Structure 1
Amino acid sequence: MSLSHSLRQEGGALVVALSGSFTFSEHNAFRKVIEEVTATQPKRVTVDLEKLNRVDSAGLSMLVLLRDRVGKGGGTVQLRRPPAQVARILDVVDFSQLFEILR
């Protein structure tokens, strides 16, 4: 299953809801998501991972790129509701050092 996304405003944050598989093959599509998000110059971005079923190192790198791009505009990015499989990966790579992770 390929990666899909939706954007919505929620409580002062721009929410990026991801679903499907976030792998290397999706990096070009996610660059467009990054452009879409940063065009609005958000101060807070929440990436909802609840429906993400798979992430690889390229997907993790894209999340870091999103954080860096949003950070250039003075904004922050947090990750929300990672499913157990994704949460284990985030823990192994110590993403809590880079993101606030809301479980």
Structure 2
Amino acid sequence: MEGRFDFSTHQSFRDAYEHSEPTVSHYVIDLSDTTYLDSSALGMLLLLRDHAGGDGARISIENCNSDVRRILSISNFEQLFSIR
């Protein structure tokens, strides 16, 4: 994701995982170029988690800047995702 991860990116984000190979077992979300994320981005990550198998999902969120990491932390996303 580049720049703002918000509602304006929902269709491209959704297309990326819905059109992936059915054998994908691990998703990696690289947020190194993401400067901002909002509640709709958090919702999109939760939809990806459901798509990937819920509690059994293997999803890594990587390379977050401090602001993005703080939002993920406040939202308790460390309980649901591997954040590196």
TM-score, normalised with respect to structure 1 = 0.71
- Determine the structure 2 residue equivalent to 1:28: 11
Structure in which a larger fraction of residues adopt strand: 1
User: Among the aligned pairs, what percent are the same residue?
Assistant: 36
**Gaps (5+ residues) in structure 2?**
none
SS in 2 for 1:52: strand
- Determine the structure 2 residue equivalent to 1:11: none
The residue type paired with residue 8 of structure 2 is S
How many residues are matched?
83
In 1, Cα distance between the equivalents of 2:40 and 2:78?
18
The residue type paired with residue 78 of structure 2 is S
Q: Are 2:63 and 1:81 aligned?
A: yes
Instruction: Find runs of 4+ consecutive structure 1 residues off by over 6 angstroms.
Output: none
- Structure with higher RCO (Cα < 8 A, 6+ apart): 2
Q: Are 2:77 and 1:70 aligned?
A: no
- The CA deviation string for residues 13-34 of structure 1, in whole angstroms up to 9 with x for no partner, is xxxxx21211112212222112
- Determine the structure 2 residue equivalent to 1:101: 83
For residue 40 of structure 1, report the CA deviation from its aligned partner: 4.1
Structure in which a larger fraction of residues adopt helix: 2
**Gaps (5+ residues) in structure 1?**
1-17
CA RMSD of aligned residues (A): 1.6
